[in-house]
Structure 1
Amino acid sequence: MFQSLPAVGAAEVPSDAFLLDVREADEWTAGHVDGALHIPMGTLMARLDEVPKDTRVYVMCRVGGRSGQVTAYLAQQGWDAVNIDGGMLAWEAAGRPMVAEHAGTPFVA
């Protein structure tokens, strides 16, 4: 039986939430949420011990596909994981704050 994936809109994510960004390095460099943990989806298995199990984990990617897969996996393994619907594009559209690893204005790559 298919179980629906827990998800919230970007505007609904608490400002003090624990965010896991599973995008690639070039996407992260262009723009990300300050304080988010960056673990590209392809390296998650080797770095699972960095993801806390004692707090809700909000997972994001660019539009929600990769983060949906990660959210489903984490939930199966016992994490309280929630997908951010629309990912960084929705985050940016909602006017939520972003930072970049370069001197310019942060953007979603």
Structure 2
Amino acid sequence: LHTFAFSFFSPLLLSYTHTVALSPVGEALQCHNCVREASDSGDCVETVETCPPEMNACAKVTYPAPYENTFHKSCFNMMECLKLGVAQGLQVTCCNWDGCNK
């Protein structure tokens, strides 16, 4: 299993961590789900969702200024998750084991 973390708040900072974990074959991925829209909106109620088969990653997306403290956690397609940080300049963490986007 792989974890990819992108941070575009610092120029060209990219980290890659290789993690090995055993996951039962055939079980759907479970990810934390939460959207916090603004720093003054309080904490969101975080739940765990079972991902559909095409969503093979968990993601946490944190938005840059002027949207500090705004974030989104959910199931994601790994390729789309990886593209999101590069294309939009967001801080994105993509991972693929249960609950990894805490």
Is the TM value for this pair above 0.5? no
Higher-strand-fraction structure: 2
- Higher radius of gyration, 1 or 2: 2
Higher-helix-fraction structure: 1
Tell me the TM-score normalized by structure 1.
Answer: 0.28
